[in-house]
Amino acid sequence: MPIATVNPANGETLKTYEAMGEEEIERRLQLAEATFRTYRTTSFDERARLLNRAADLLDEAQQDIARVMTTEMGKPVKQARAEAANCAKAMRWYAEHAQELLADEEPAESDVKDSGAARARVLYRPLGPVLAVMPWNFPLWQVIRFAAPALMAGNVGLLKHASNVPQTALFLEDLFHQAGYTQGCFQTLLVGSGAIDDILRDERVKAATLTGSEPAGRAVASTAGDMVKKTVLELGGSDPYVVMPSADVDRAAEIAVTARVQNNGQSCIAAKRFIVHTDVYDRFVERFVAGMRALKVGDPLEEDTEVGPLSSEQGRADLEELVDDARRSGASVLCGGERPEGDGWYYPPTVIADVTREMRIHREEAFGPVATVYRAADLDEAVLIANDSPFGLSSNVWTRDEGEVDRFVRDLEAGGVFVNGMTASHPAFPFGGVKRSGYGRELSGQGIREFCNITTVWHGA
């Protein structure tokens, strides 16, 4: 895949870039290693000063970078601005809280004595250069939620971004440099996916984080396992959205539309499978379909556009295959389901019912504005359908019954359970999944500690 900006609204190639050669990659790896030796000794106050300055610069550049993101991958420009604002918020959150999150820990006095020590403590020390392999769908947010905690922990970052968002990748490198970070603290590697294996095998790279597809996660995890290096993986999701009879059905249907089509439906944590109790199924589906039909699809640079194009021609083709397979196998298409005429890689908001386990869309992630709806006879069946997926990233449940909430929290196989609302990420809350959605956590205290050397310090009597 070429490293290029291709506008998904019309298919026009706007900029192309040459991949970095071996000499440039080597230069950047040397710089990362040398920079880490010094940066690791900086104080939390100095790291916070730099990260807060980067957040300020991002706020100043919000309009411009939003247009770049929209032009590179197609998200509505209003959502792009919100993404930039969320990144600045996360940067400031880590600048404020990192020292507390990584404070030395004192074991219980009784345990210290029992170990034969006069005193003991646990430290969180940085690991070194961390390789981040990041996707195009949230081209700022995915990077910042790795970079902010990694930098505050004293690590340095190497970014291999998706090949279709090179301008965003270069903007990020420049952002940190303009904020005052030493050049080697954060570097963008303009390379293709074929270069990842060699970079990850390099002894100077101490760990890796990847957000992306399951095949990409398997490849990185395999190499990292061979080299015995720490990884965090956030892979696909096919999140359930369960609606029970006690719920505010109208509100659940309204939020369901946003939950499905956020970022043009290209979000790992977008709700994708809508599992509705039979008592309120017809009412929910009627309102949900009406809401999906009413969405404005169009030029993502227009302020009132709600759904823009998919990021690539291949992405649209993959989505079409899932819909066509379901239709051939007997599913009902309640709205959408047909490629529109004209330029760009658009696909309409689509709702599919009568889905069976044999259909590909039941077990594969639909990465675009396509929703599947299921009818559940009771809570037990709702849980069974929700868990009948290889993924386990997040989940949504709508109910006013606290007993049902307890059951869902206990039984849903997911890294998050959002009650009476849609899944969202916030720097204070850990983010990640189970099953084929990956392992490890981003954000919160758990996220910043993922790439730390957790060190026991023991002093004899």
Contact 91, 144 (CB under 8 A): yes
Contact 451, 153 (CB under 8 A): yes
* Cα dihedral 394, 317, 167, 204 in deg (nearest 10): 60
Q: Is 370 exposed, middle or buried (0-12, 13-18, 19+ CB in 10 A)?
A: buried
> What distance in Å separates the CA atoms of residue 228 and residue 206, rounded to the nearest whole number?
9
In degrees, to the nearest 5, what angle opens at C-alpha 298 toward C-alphas 395 and 312? 65
Known catalytic membership, residue 268: yes
Strand pairing partners for 442?
431
**E-strand stretches of 244-312:** 271-277
What tokens appear for 112 in the block?
């210290």
> What distance in Å separates the CA atoms of residue 311 and residue 265, rounded to the nearest whole number?
11
> What distance in Å separates the CA atoms of residue 93 and residue 427, rounded to the nearest whole number?
7
Q: Which residues of 130-161 are buried (b: 16+ CB within 10 A; e: fewer)?
A: bbbbbbbbbbbbbbbbbbbbbbbbbbbbbbbb
Catalytic residue among 234, 306, 365, 404: 234
What tokens appear for 158 in the block?
């190497």
> What distance in Å separates the CA atoms of residue 77 and residue 71, rounded to the nearest whole number?
9
Count Cβ atoms below 10 Å from residue 327 Cβ, excluding itself: 15
Nearest by Cα to 163 from 185, 200, 194:
194
Contact 197, 223 (CB under 8 A): yes
Known catalytic membership, residue 46: no
What tokens appear for 215 in the block?
């095949």
Residue 427: phi and psi, rounded to 5, are: -60, -20
Contact 224, 230 (CB under 8 A): yes
Output 410-419 pairs: Cβ under 8 A, ≥24 positions apart. Answer: 411/383, 411/387, 412/240, 412/383, 412/386, 412/387, 413/386, 413/387, 414/239, 414/240, 415/441, 418/394
Strand pairing partners for 233?
210, 439
> What distance in Å separates the CA atoms of residue 175 and residue 179, rounded to the nearest whole number?
6
Catalytic residue among 87, 185, 268, 452: 268
Active site residues: 234, 268
